[in-house]
Amino acid sequence: APNQLLGVFADELVEPLAQVLGKLGSQHVLVVHSEDGMDEISIGAPTNVAELVNGKVTTYRISPEQFGMRRADISTLAVDGAEASLKIINAVLDNQAGAARDIVVLNAGAAIYAADLVDSLEVGVQKANEVIASGAAKEKLAALVKVSNSF
């Protein structure tokens, strides 16, 4: 894929994977691993990023605070089963503040940026925030559910 956000399970893979994706023809990629062990952008610790843009890889660290979010323990995101997971998803889509919403906004914002829909990670996070706050994300999910139930 030419554009993607990709999480990896080990920090030592962040930069090499970005380099490999560049050699395979990717254009804009963010490869991430958080210092609390997550293979995504975390709200619990800084996240290491290797960003590939048109063949050049740069590495940097980001933290929730950079985006106006409070750090939260990732254990608060743990769920026990599908019903609990659905409850959290609905809370996020209902724009309920908290750790779950923040981690979704951070990762969705990074994906928006990697897709070249905005010019910076910060603007991507703002866009993700707006889409959830406006109800557009919830409407899109409802439309997807409706279509998938029609088969």
Q: How far is CA 115 from the centre of its chain?
A: 12
Question: 99-147, pLDDT tens digit by residue?
Answer: 999 999 999 999 999 999 999 999 999 999 999 999 999 999 999 999 9
Q: Report whether 19 contacts 45 (CB < 8 A).
A: no
Q: Report whether 88 contacts 97 (CB < 8 A).
A: no
Q: pLDDT value at position 151? A: 85
User: Per-residue pLDDT for 150 more than 90?
Assistant: no
Mean pLDDT of 32-41: 98
Q: pLDDT value at position 63? A: 98
Q: How far is CA 64 from the centre of its chain?
A: 12
Could you tell me the residue ranges of all domains in the chain?
A: 3-149
Mean pLDDT of 24-49: 98
Please name the amino acid found at residue 75: S
Question: 51-84, pLDDT tens digit by residue?
Answer: 999 999 999 999 999 999 999 999 999 999 999 9
Architecture in CATH for domain 3-149: 3-Layer(aba) Sandwich (3.40)
